[in-house]
Amino acid sequence: MKIRKLLWTITIISIIVLGNGLTTKAIPNQINDDISPDLFHIGTVYLSINVSATEFNPAEFTVKESTTVNLTITSDDIGHSFEIIEYGINETIIANSTVNIEFVADILGTFDYISVNSTATGTMTVEDPYVPDLPRPEDITVLFDLSHNSNTTDIAIKYSAIANWTDENDFTLIVNEGDFFTIDTLRHITVLMILEPDENLTGPELDVVKDYINNGRSLFIAGSAATAVTNFNEITKPFGYQFDNATARYINTTLPATDGENNTLSSFFSTDFLDHPLINENQYVPLTDEITSKILYTGTQLEYNASWITGFSEESNLTNSDEIIDSYQLFYGNNTIYSDENGDTIYWKNESIYHNTSTTLIAAVETAFDARMIVIGSAEILNNTMVGRYEINEIFFQRALQWVGKMYAVLRHDNYYVSLYEIKIGDMINTSVSFYAQNNTVLADLNVTLRVWRASQISQSQYMTQVNNSYYEDLVNTSNIKKGIVSINIVAHKRGYGFNITEDTYLQVNPAQAIPFPVPILYIITFVITIGIGVLALVLFFIRVIRTPKTEEEVVEVEEAEEDIDLDEYEENTEPEET
């Protein structure tokens, strides 16, 4: 019985192992066939139209909503009118002359333009300005947190202007006045906005916010001197920054003070920005077309240290271009800015002037898991007085909110290709991919790396070569890759546009020597042994089944014979003796 069970167990295990080996295949790559988003322009579009008795040339044109349309209409023959009824446009054009009109395309739809002296008509189409597949304002939920301020009412009033702009521009705004951060609180939040926090996060709240960032959501946080002594630094420090209670001040004299004379200003304009789409992009921001050229800063600063950058991700073995966090100074002080450590508002000889990027005022963070962060040393630059008096500060806030909400400046990929799915060690694999911004714009200076993964570790990493425009390709040498299943993906990054990681493509890597059989010889041997064991097990099984009834009859006969013997002995022992 034990032998039979053992044979059956061996047979079943062998079949499972063999089946797994014979059915292991490379998973085919899925090429991204999505249509690339169209380019749109928010600004002024200049167009010329010629009109005659029989035609408009061009007979149609398309612009995006909110575009300023500057039209030059020329009569090629007689006098004409030019009308777009829905826009209230009705201009008269003298024969063989030109008229210029300008209007804002603020109504979506398709509209005819006509002339009373022309048999032709033309068509103007006004399209949605937002990039396809990227969020619109109504898709973005902003949680304005007041629960970590000791004076909730004052903070709500102090920053009501930017809160109102968020709400009035169709973002979904939620004001949190007292609830703790929980998984449910942040479940549907796109941007978590925290201004001047001066109360600590609880332990569970810290964990929830870390998970929130790891899950690819965004944080907009601006501090104060009080923030510097809270545990909010446990959120920002793993990304290279912590809040500092030192105030950034502008030196308005050429010589350091020797007698304690106040020689600094608490507010200063600066144009020392990093080259970044949040600052200089003028095509992808429907809500804010203005460019951020400078900002008025006042208040505390940030402390930066690259060695702090670890993040919260558990993904490891990523170095150089493969790093999963890009943390950088977006707005910084120059050689006229110093850090007032002692708070006396005076620049002394022994106090340091910070040059170039050493004084961090505003920071930005991007991660490979799609999170974005804006970290501001002083929330004061966004209070009602500042944004009301200085439009440039309000513009910065508007653009920053759209950037962390991922409404623009998003890196995409297309035409991802891997030439082989089953190879021998030493074979070359041809790979290629195209990267672009969300408007299909080619981006220079991308950092593109190909990674070969095995058992959740990177076994090979290499830079890819830019061929032209946004197209990259490279050959992968598999000489140093062990046999088995591996996967390939490509990661690209450009500062301000985030990271983009392609889908995994799985490959079956076989030994380098030629295999004479369609499947490895080991599988064939295993198959033969399995069949043999199975046949033997079946034979023993049927023999056992056939022999079982005979065995039962033999037992009965033996028992009857033993009973006869016992009866004879009994009769012999009980027979009376003869006298």
Alpha-carbon span 243 to 264, nearest angstrom: 22
**In the block, which residue shows the tokens 């010889």?**
521
Q: Nearest-CA neighbor of 174 among 134, 208, 145, 197? A: 145
Chain-centroid distance, C-alpha 147: 28
CA dihedral 31, 34, 38, 39 (to 10 degrees): -40
Task: Return left, alpha or beta for 440; rule: phi > 0 is left, psi -120 to 50 is alpha, else beta.
Answer: left
Q: Nearest-CA neighbor of 177 among 219, 147, 198? A: 147
C-beta separation of 66 from 129 below 8 A:
yes
Strands (E), 207-359: 218-222, 241-251, 264-265, 267-270, 295-304, 325-332, 337-340, 353-354
Q: Could you count the other beta carbons within 10 Å of the beta carbon of residue 226? A: 16
Alpha-carbon span 453 to 553, nearest angstrom: 67
Q: Is 565 exposed, middle or buried (0-12, 13-18, 19+ CB in 10 A)?
A: exposed
Locate the domains of the chain by residue range: 2-21+519-572, 31-37+411-510, 44-127, 137-246+297-332+356-404
Alpha-carbon span 6 to 392, nearest angstrom: 81
Burial 133-164 (b: 16+ CB within 10 A, else e): ebbebeebbbbbbbbbbeebeebbebbebbbe
Burial 264-283 (b: 16+ CB within 10 A, else e): beeebebebbbebbbbebeb
Question: Which CATH number is 31-37+411-510 given?
Answer: 2.60.40.1930
C-beta separation of 12 from 37 below 8 A:
no
C-beta separation of 364 from 373 below 8 A:
yes
Between strands 505-510 and 422-424, the pairing is: parallel
Give the DSSP letter of residue 536: H
pLDDT tens-digit series, residues 441-479: 888 889 899 999 988 888 899 999 999 878 999 999 989
Alpha-carbon span 241 to 423, nearest angstrom: 46
Which CATH number, 1.10.150, 3.40.50, 3.40.1000, 3.30.70, labels domain 137-246+297-332+356-404? 3.40.50
According to CATH, the topology of domain 44-127 is: Immunoglobulin-like (2.60.40)
Per-residue pLDDT of the chain (579 residues; tens, 9 = 90+): 556 665 566 666 666 555 555 444 333 333 333 322 333 445 788 999 999 999 999 999 999 888 889 999 999 999 999 999 999 999 999 999 999 999 999 899 999 999 999 999 999 999 888 877 889 999 999 999 999 999 999 999 999 999 999 999 999 999 999 899 999 999 999 999 999 999 999 999 999 999 999 999 999 999 999 999 999 999 999 999 999 988 888 887 655 555 545 567 888 888 878 889 998 877 667 788 788 888 999 999 998 888 888 887 555 444 444 468 999 999 887 777 877 777 777 766 556 555 444 578 999 999 998 999 999 999 999 999 999 999 999 999 999 999 999 998 999 998 999 998 888 998 999 999 999 887 778 888 898 999 999 888 888 999 999 998 789 999 999 898 888 999 999 999 999 999 999 999 999 999 877 555 556 666 677 777 777 777 777 777 677 767 665 555 555 555 555 556 655 655 565 555 554
In this prediction, residue 247 carries a pLDDT of 87
**pTM: predicted TM-score of the whole model, two decimal places:** 0.73
Structure tokens at 173: 């705004």
pLDDT tens-digit series, residues 206-259: 999 999 999 999 999 999 999 999 999 999 999 999 999 888 888 876 555 555
Q: Is the fold of 44-127 the same as that of 137-246+297-332+356-404?
A: no
Structure tokens at 495: 């500062």
How would DSSP label each residue in 145-185? E-TT-S-HHHHHHHTHHHHHHHHHTT-EEEEESSPPP-HHH
Phi (first) and psi of residue 151, to 5 degrees: -125, 85
| HEC secondary structure over 388-451 | HHCHHHHHHHHHHHHHHCCCCCCEEEEEEEECCCEEECCCEEEEEEEEEECCCCCCCCCEEEEE
Distances (CA, A) of 128 to 61, 122, 269, 429: 14, 20, 36, 42
